[in-house]
Structure 1
Amino acid sequence: MMPRWKGKGLQAKANADPMSKIVSQLQSSLIQFETRGLLSSCSVLVEVDAELADLLNRSCFGRPRITAQEDKQWFQLDMEEAFYLCFSLKCLKVIGEDGSIKSNEELWDYFKSKKLVFPVSYKVYSHLRHKNWVVRSGLQYGVDFVAYRHHPALVHSEYAVLALSEGDNDLNGRLRVWSDVHCTVRLCGSVAKTLLTVIVNSNNQGANSPSCLEHYTVEERTITRWNPERSREDQTGPKNGTKKGVTRF
């Protein structure tokens, strides 16, 4: 599936301002101003000025929150977003309810207590972010994330992403029965997205600290419907053969 840009000339605009460059600018700004966030239940709130708000918007981290304080702007980061800025980019500090700055280990334990599958979901989120995909919540499509080639204002999301754990039953057996596969793929097709499963293998490592992440490995696999046009007798062969990591049915 080719990227679906939302207007003429937007691909050139995205190429001229790559996401890697925008995220690097955000990282530098957060470090420069020693930005701190406030831990709030299952998210982190960050007070920002107009410049930082623009960078967060452009890099697609968090969402602006409307408050009664007109002189203040706040962004709400999801758990994966906040931990990525803290642990992977090392550009954000998070303050707990007791007023102390939380270490990466403390944040890890806190987020795990709020979301049982956080180690798996974070590994998938960081894996895609490291590849410069924009990663957003996929709740409205019944998946974990949706992945965009660039800013959602410029292009439609290409992938609906499921974060799965190798040999783990904590994910309610998603895609383990045919009806689940069929329903999920049909839903993705109706909104012009390809289903991407990212399977995390812990390699028998525990999840006691974020250091375990370096031992985790991931396998990407797309699942698409079989196209009968690829098997017509008057064709010498498929234009695009099935590649490793692609499952069709």
Structure 2
Amino acid sequence: MANDSTSTTSPSAAVSVSSQSESKQSAPRPRAPRAPRPNFKQIYRFPLPINVHPLPPLIPHNPLSIVSVLLSYLTYFIAPPHQEVYPAYFDADTSSVHVTDKKAIRALWEMGFFGKGTLSRSEPSWLGREKKRRGLLGTVASEDMTRQRRSERRELKLERARMERVAVEERLKAEAAARDAADVSVDHNTLSPSADGLTNGTDGTAPNTEKFSLRKAREARYLESRRLAAQDGEERGADPAGKRPVGGKTVRFSPVVQAKEIAPDSAVHLLDPIGDEPGPQEPPPLQDEEHLQLSNEEAFFLAYGLGTLDVYDGKRKTLLPASSLLPLFCQHSHFPPQDPSVDPKPDDPFLVSYAVYHHFRSLGWVVRSGVKFGVDYLLYNRGPVFSHAEFAVVVIPSYDHPYWSETEARRAQCDRNQSRSWWWLHCVNRVQAQVKKSLVICYVEVPPPGPCSAEEGSTSDIGDLLSRYSIREMVMRRWVPNRTRD
């Protein structure tokens, strides 16, 4: 009997070859390289928009160091440096200060993180985002990077939830098969994961408990898309007529549209064939429509505390000195704005809030608005581009001076201004705990009306007026028994 000399391939070898080819085809595409991150330490190296010239070190046992110090003093007196002053204007409709000069916008943001872009979340980056949208710029804006990171995290969570759901279904199938086979116990040590991290339901295996990553989620999504595409190809091959199976998606038109028939030679000409076709028109030049919006506290700190901002009246185009800015900001701290003839009181909201702003700015903190977290201010160690805010500040006026308790009317007014409920405190503290910030309650001691207060109309010496306010800080933290046993 002659033996058959034809070579055959074993089923296991065929499966291994097909699995290798499938793994090669299912490899994810390489990710595009990200744009280099800008050097934030170099861009935001100045904490405030002022020119600082430090002196060389003075070494007592080195007489040459004295000469270098004297030379630096002599150079400073002969050619003093020019201090840049940036223009801005006060808008009475929005009760805020606006900066429209492009150089001033970049300087105020990069040196101290002052203001907010009117068309952006924080940094004025509308022009870069608009250029990128039109294909004129290859860089990525900060908002786009944040949106990309959020979409990647959302994709990872959805894929992880889907894989966990599939693993639970496979486990339930394995347990049902074990009960049908009258197996009393299921050996979980013999469970082996499949190639994509899921369990193999044919041999009763359990899901793999390894941690899912974004790369594995993308690979699983790529495999799922290929499987769906293969199924769609098989369905179309089984139906050569191109008809969709029963239950597929169909599109039905109205009887009027069904009765219409369009001739193949009928064409719609949008342009006159006799006339000349107009050439491609160039798009108009892109202009920056965004400006920087400063709060009243930031504008007064730059104008009075640093002297680097000139605020003009939006209607009269006249320069407003610091002595005129203070009653103007106090007037617009109320809604609707108070009458200019009304003198501001010592517990005016602007005076109280500016005292806290000036206090933390003088300590080196970057102070930003905390309205999105339900507080007054947020304190950054270096700035919002380096890290998240560490502290959230709530400003509360305090009336401990005996002047405010002399009459019943004053006591009632003080109680209304400083009263806060426990429900409010619990809500604010819970929000800050969720965003991992420490709540700081700042009590501002309001002084009584005196000769230097704004109530008497003497605002020339603003330093004496602000020196009468004192601030007490109290940090609220969650009490954990394991950490605070002492």
Kindly provide the amino acid, as one letter, of the partner of residue 219 in structure 1: R
Q: Larger radius of gyration, structure 1 or 2? A: 2
Asked if the contact 2:99/2:105 (under 8 Å) is kept, the reply is no
Shift of 1:71: 6.2
Instruction: Indicate whether 1:81 and 2:298 are aligned.
Output: yes
Unaligned runs of 5+ in 2: 1-39, 53-81, 120-125, 128-285, 335-348, 400-413
Q: Whole-Å Cα distance in 2 between the matches of residues 169 and 99 of structure 1? A: 41
Distance in 2 (alpha carbons) for counterparts of 1:47 and 1:38: 9
Q: Residues 169, 33 of structure 1: CA spacing in aligned structure 2 closer, same or farther, 3 A cutoff?
A: same
CA distance in 2, matches of 1:182, 1:219: 20
Which of 27, 31, 38 is residue 89 of structure 2 equivalent to?
Answer: 38
Out of 133, 138, 148, the residue aligned to residue 380 of structure 2 is 148
Q: How many residues of Structure 1 are paired with residues of Structure 2 in the alignment?
A: 215
TM-score, reference length from structure 1: 0.75
Cα gap change, 1:18 to 1:62, in 2 (>3 Å): closer
**Structure with more of its chain in strand, by fraction:** 1
How has the CA–CA distance of structure 1 residues 38 and 170 changed in structure 2, closer, same or farther, with 3 Å as cutoff? farther
**Residues 49 and 72 in structure 1, CA contact (< 8 A), matched pair in contact too:** no
CA contact 2:392–2:432 (8 Å) conserved in 1 = yes
- Say whether residues 1:222 and 2:462 are aligned partners: no
Rounded to whole Å, the distance in 1 between the matches of 2:288 and 2:426 is 50
Identify, as 1 or 2, the structure richer in helix: 2
Cross-structure match for 2:419: 173
SS at match of 1:93: strand
SS at match of 1:127: helix
Q: Secondary structure at the match of 2:47?
A: helix
Task: Give the secondary-structure state (helix, strand or coil) at the position aligned to 1:61.
Answer: coil
What is the rounded CA distance, in whole Å, between the counterparts of 1:231 and 1:132 in structure 2?
A: 30
Report SS of the residue matched to 1:109: helix
Whole-angstrom distance in 1 between the partners of 2:436 and 2:364? 21
Deviations 1:116-155 (A, max 9, x none): 4000001101111111111111111111111111111111
Q: Does 1:113 align with 2:138?
A: no
Q: Hey, what does 1:104 align to over in structure 2?
A: 322
Question: Using the alignment, how far apart are the partners of 2:326 and 2:299 within structure 1?
Answer: 11
Whose RCO is larger (CA < 8 A, sep 6+)? Answer: 1
Per-residue CA distance 1:170-205 (angstroms, 9 max, x = gap): 64623xx32222221111101101111111113324
Gaps in structure 1 of 5+ consecutive residues? 1-12, 238-249
* Residue pairs, 1:59-98, within 5 angstroms: 59-65=112-118, 70=287, 74-96=291-313, 97-98=315-316
* CA distance in structure 2 between the partners assigned to 1:17 and 1:200 by the alignment: 35
Shift in Å, 1:32: 3.5
Q: Letter of the aligned partner of 1:217 in structure 2? A: S
- After TM superposition, the structure 1 = structure 2 runs for residues 151-166 of structure 1, keeping only pairs within 5 Å, are 151-166=383-398
Q: Is structure 2 residue 22 aligned with structure 1 residue 22?
A: no
Counterpart for residue 186 of structure 1? 430
Superposed displacement of residue 102, structure 1: 1.1
TM-score scaled by length of structure 2: 0.40
- Cα deviation digits, residues 79-101 of structure 1 (max 9, x gap): 11000001111111111122221
Distance 1:48 1:100 in 2: 17
